Amino acid sequence: MTLKEQLHAVIDSMELASASDPKSMAEVFCEWDDERQAQFFIEVARVMRTWGPGKHDTQAYYIGGHLKTCSCSTEEAREFVRAIAGRLTTGPS
């Protein structure tokens, strides 16, 4: 059993499944400084690359579409993603 599988089993056995819901994960993310938040995105990209060629870009397309058109999305969420993307494409690095 992998460490990830073990962690999932522990969470499930302790009835802490809600600890891995988007709201709880966002709260943890927001407690981090910019370095740890950036490392999170770096790790997400690394994991997604293991899915195979093109899957990373396809997932990004679907996430963007969901944020753009779904009734559950918010302007704040869209602006947050735009601000990150804007910083990647403008100004000194």
Quote the pLDDT of residue 67.
95
HEC profile for the chain? CCHHHHHHHHHHHCCCHHHHCHHHHHHHHHHCCHHHHHHHHHHHHHHHHCCCCCHHHHHHHHHHHHHHHCCCCCHHHHHHHHHHHHHHHCCCC
- pLDDT(15) > 90: no
pLDDT digits (tens, 9 = 90+) for 33-84: 999 999 999 999 999 999 999 998 999 999 999 999 999 999 999 999 999 9
Q: How far apart are CA 91 and CA 93, in angstroms?
A: 6
Whether this prediction's pTM lies above 0.85 is answered by: no
Quote the pLDDT of residue 75.
96
